[in-house]
């Protein structure tokens, strides 16, 4: 369940937010949405893949595991990577709308909400804490990044650069797994684009994110190694 409310310093003055990772806080996720402006940071740690949505559009994802409820970067109460995607960082906050523009919303049913531990949202005078200011900045970056994503996806479709892929994995213990159902950049097709098409992608600011997606695929090796260690520990 969720209970979204517009954040204010009267009703929510004593609220705190628990920021440590953990299964209890919903961090046992296979992937998280991301967006082109974040790809440079994401590709250093996670494979970036695309999921086809019910409305036939596509969404980029930072991949954390090979199956539902598997996050190979979650180590107890520690996130084992130097960068955590912004859509993970922003929980339990959301972007809301009001008559005077966009505002910060909070999910009051989130397990991260507390009155006894975690980061305060407001100081004694009712002003925003440094933590809440960081949250507002994060939400702003997400809002801007998500707004720019459809044009990026349209460009990939226009140039026929998305393709489905399957990854046949054999873990160190001999267990086998086929990872499928997602899409990636068709690198050969990208290399065949002419100067006009490449120039168009470059001018729109899309060429760098495309190459970041391709670079991110090398992280599958690390993901497989993490899964192998987990399988060995479970035996």
pLDDT digits (tens, 9 = 90+) for 102-124: 899 999 999 999 999 999 999 99
**C-alpha to C-alpha distance for 186 and 193, rounded to whole angstroms:** 11
Q: Tokens for 190?
A: 């990208």
- Whether residue 19 has pLDDT greater than 70: yes
Q: What is the pTM assigned to this prediction? A: 0.94
pLDDT at site 173: 73
How many domains is the chain partitioned into structurally?
1
pLDDT at site 232: 62
Under the banding of pLDDT at 50, 70 and 90, the label for residue 230 is confident
- Whether residue 234 has pLDDT greater than 80: no
pLDDT at site 1: 67
Under the banding of pLDDT at 50, 70 and 90, the label for residue 83 is very high
- pLDDT > 70: what percent of the chain? 97
Q: Indicate the angle between helix axes 207-216 and 195-203, nearest 10 degrees.
A: 100
Across 140-169, average pLDDT: 96
pLDDT at site 189: 96
- Whether residue 3 has pLDDT greater than 90: no
- Whether residue 235 has pLDDT greater than 60: no
DSSP secondary-structure letter at 10?
A: T
Measured at the alpha carbon of residue 138, what is the angle toward residues 133 and 140, in degrees to the nearest 5?
A: 95
**How far, CA to CA in Å, does 228 sit from each of 82, 152, 206, 235?**
21, 34, 35, 11
pLDDT tens for 84-94 read: 999 999 999 99
Q: Can you tell me which residue has the tokens 């998305």?
A: 162
pLDDT at site 174: 74
**C-alpha to C-alpha distance for 32 and 63, rounded to whole angstroms:** 7
pLDDT at site 56: 78
**C-alpha to C-alpha distance for 94 and 103, rounded to whole angstroms:** 9
Taking alpha carbons only, the member of 214, 231, 212, 186 closest to residue 67 is 231
| Structural domain span for residue 39 | 4-234
**C-alpha to C-alpha distance for 136 and 174, rounded to whole angstroms:** 46
Give the lowest-confidence range in 132-136, 172-176, 190-194, 198-202. 172-176
- Which residues neighbour 62 within 8 Å (Cβ) at sequence distance 6 or greater? 31, 32, 33, 34, 42, 46, 47, 48, 85
* Rg from Cα positions in the chain: 20
């Amino acid at each position: 369940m969720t209970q979204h409310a517009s954040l204010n310093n009267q009703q929510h003055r004593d609220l705190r937010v628990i920021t440590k990772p953990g299964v209890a806080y919903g961090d046992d996720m296979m992937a998280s949405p991301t967006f082109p402006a974040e790809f440079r940071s994401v590709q250093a740690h996670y494979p970036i893949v695309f999921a086809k949505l019910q409305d036939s559009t596509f969404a980029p994802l930072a991949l954390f595991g090979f199956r539902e409820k598997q996050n190979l970067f979650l180590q107890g109460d520690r996130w084992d990577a130097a960068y955590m995607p912004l859509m993970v960082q922003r929980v339990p906050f959301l972007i809301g709308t009001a008559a005077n523009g966009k505002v910060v919303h909070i999910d009051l049913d989130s397990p991260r909400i507390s009155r006894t531990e975690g980061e305060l949202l407001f100081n004694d005078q009712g002003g925003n804490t440094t933590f809440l200011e960081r949250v507002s900045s994060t939400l702003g970056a997400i809002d801007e990044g998500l707004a720019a994503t459809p044009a990026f996806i349209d460009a990939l479709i226009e140039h026929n650069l998305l393709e489905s892929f399957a990854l046949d994995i054999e873990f160190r213990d001999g267990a086998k797994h086929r990872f499928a159902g997602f899409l990636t950049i068709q690198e050969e097709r990208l290399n065949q684009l002419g100067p006009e098409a490449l120039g168009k992608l470059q001018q729109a600011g899309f060429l760098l994110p495309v190459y970041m997606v391709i670079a991110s695929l090398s992280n599958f090796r690390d993901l497989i190694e993490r899964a192998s260690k987990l399988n060995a520990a479970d035996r």
